Amino acid sequence: MQFGPRVPGTPAHERTGDWILEHLRATADTIAVQSFTHVTRQGTSLHLRNFLARFRPAATERVLLLAHWDTRPHADQSANLGQQRLPVPGANDGASGVALLLGVADVLKTKPPTVGVDLLFVDGEDYGNFATDSNDVLIGTRYFARHQPPGYQPLFAVLFDMVADKDQQFYYEGNSQAFAPEVVDRVWRTAADLGYGRVFLPGVKPTLIDDHVALQQAGIHAIDVVDFDYPYRSDLPQPPPSSTTSSTSFDRIFSAHRA
Ligand SMILES: [Zn+2]
């Protein structure tokens, strides 16, 4: 958050990427950086980077966890017209998933997993307009789907987006439940077993085009853990105070997978 909005094409975006990479170099067994240029519909060239941090890279049984690290250039969902042209701060939509994955990286460094784990930080998720043009959204994940490690076949993938609400409530996301219901069931059941049944609630609520859909199209059983019912979404200037409760829950849930 201290870097400011992480909008592709800005110095804050570059600095944030360097900062994430530095943390991953200190924790992961290996790191792959996918650095590429994306030309937007309007002709702007963006330098984007995906980071794939791998734990036990030789293990054939693998799990993929991902989040996007860029933030949206315009707060177009804001009820305040004057704010709609400004970038979003991205505490919940951007930083929360990154914080979660970096926390998981720290845990995996101290307690190596029994299966291989890959943490993927994707860029350019939120640049364009989801409603009108698919060219400039989900850019990093679509790039990853086309440039996977050779023979890559993770057992499943879990995307985290908007996971820092103070009163966190996760319902099943529609495209996740349609494509990979067994993964949804596994994650929600593990959460309930750990006592987080009031955070991970049953039933489908939102249906979203998010990074998991780009992975699904590549055959990966990917789901989205997202709390879309977030009143401050894309509002400015102050996001609400985020809670550490939810990332603590996640650390425990994904540590439990290692058992
Ligand atoms: Zn997001």
> What integer pLDDT is reported at residue 221 of this predicted model?
98
Distance CA 245, CA 76 (A): 29
**Residue-averaged pLDDT of the chain:** 90
CATH number of 11-258: 3.40.630.10
Sequence-ordered strand ranges (E) for 139-221: 156-161, 170-172, 200-204
pLDDT exceeds cutoff 80 at 224: yes
Give the global pTM. 0.89
SS3 39: strand
| Distance in Å, CA 210 to ligand 1 centroid | 8
38-47, 157-166, 176-185, 237-246: range with lowest mean pLDDT: 237-246
- Note whether 73 and 13 are within 8 A (CB): no
| Distance in Å, CA 162 to ligand 1 centroid | 6
| Distance in Å, CA 58 to ligand 1 centroid | 30
| Distance in Å, CA 2 to ligand 1 centroid | 18
| Distance in Å, CA 161 to ligand 1 centroid | 5
Kindly state the average pLDDT of the residues 72-81. 87
| Distance in Å, CA 153 to ligand 1 centroid | 25
Distance CA 189, CA 191 (A): 5
- Note whether 9 and 46 are within 8 A (CB): yes
| Distance in Å, CA 89 to ligand 1 centroid | 12
| Distance in Å, CA 31 to ligand 1 centroid | 23
Kindly state the average pLDDT of the residues 153-163. 96
> What integer pLDDT is reported at residue 165 of this predicted model?
85
> What integer pLDDT is reported at residue 231 of this predicted model?
61
pLDDT exceeds cutoff 80 at 250: no
| Distance in Å, CA 68 to ligand 1 centroid | 6
> What integer pLDDT is reported at residue 232 of this predicted model?
56
Kindly state the average pLDDT of the residues 20-49. 97
| Distance in Å, CA 90 to ligand 1 centroid | 8
User: Which band of pLDDT confidence, cut at 50, 70 and 90, is reported for residue 201?
Assistant: very high
Which has the higher per-residue pLDDT, 81 or 258?
81
Tell me the pairing of strands 116-122 and 45-55: antiparallel
Kindly state the average pLDDT of the residues 44-48. 97
Domain residue ranges in the chain: 11-258
